Every structure is written in structure tokens, then in C-alpha cells.
Amino acid sequence: MTAYIDPERAQFEAFKALDRDQPIEMLNLVRFRTTANYPADHDLAKAGLTGAQAYRNYGTATAPVIARLGASIMWRGQFQTTLIGPSDEIWDEVFIAHYPTAHAFLEMVTDPVYQAAVIHRQAAVETSRLIRCGSADGGDAFG
């Protein structure tokens, strides 16, 4: 499995090119490292934290930013199995974050408190998928 931790420049530019004035949902699929991988000079580098523990640090540190922006975790689930797709993609965290607008998401990722907390995410994550979705009507049928 290829590791995806941070967005590539082209992906981020494509995200920014989409309409920013609408609500968005971000599907998050996250697989943790067994042991968190902090930079050698970080205070937690020798703490022996698991990836899950480092990710909790990320969540704790970013919660005030998310609340201030009016964002929330609208759904969280526990990964069980993949029915269609690569069988080696196993996820430790699966959730959907709601943002009132794409502007709010961009404000989050440029917030100094958030940027300082990203080190925990980078230490925690072995690979991830972050998929932007726009709201759509539900219904009683597929398609």
C-alpha cells in the first residue's frame, strides 16, 4: 500500500479550485502506524506512543479550531471489511467531517494552532484517504 499522509500540491490546488461557498463533507480513512514516528527533536519522540495515541493528541489539539469554525464530526464508524476494493486497505479511523464551507476547511489548515498540531497527525498516520464530497439529496435507491 502506498502511503498518503499529506496532500500533494496538485491535489490541494484542485481542492482550492472548487466552489468554496458551499458546505462540504470530508470522508476520512486513516490507518495508524504501530508506533508513532515523531521527529527526533520532538518532545514525544521517545515517549513510545502508538499511532492511535498520537492521533488522539492531534484530535485534542485541533478540537478548539474545529469548534470555532463550526465544523463537526457528523459520522464515525468502525471499519469491518472491504467488500469491493483493495483488500490490503484496512482503516483504524473512518469518519466524515462536516464543514460549513470549503472556506472553513481552508481556514482550519492555515490556522497556526492547527498547523502546530499537524505534527501529531504526521507522526500517527501510516496512510490515509481524505475525500472531499459535496452534499446531495438522499433517497430510497442507489444511483
Residue 141 domain flag:
no
Residue 38 domain flag:
yes
| Domain of 97, in residue numbers | 26-134
For 63-106, how does the pLDDT look when each residue is reduced to its tens digit (9 = 90+)?
Answer: 999 999 999 999 999 999 999 999 999 999 999 999 999 999 99
Work out the end-to-end distance of the chain between its first and last CA atoms, rounded to an integer number of angstroms. 30
Residue 143 domain flag:
no
For 6-27, how does the pLDDT look when each residue is reduced to its tens digit (9 = 90+)?
Answer: 889 999 999 999 889 999 999 9
Residue 1, pLDDT score: 63
Residue 4 CA to its chain's centroid (Å):
11
Residue 113 domain flag:
yes
State the Cα–Cα distance between residues 90 and 81, nearest whole angstrom. Answer: 7
Residue 7 domain flag:
no
Residue 102 domain flag:
yes
User: Residue 32 is part of a domain; what is its CATH number?
Assistant: 3.30.70.100
* Overall domain count for the chain: 1
Of the two residues 136 and 96, the one the predictor is more confident about is 96
pTM for the whole structure: 0.91
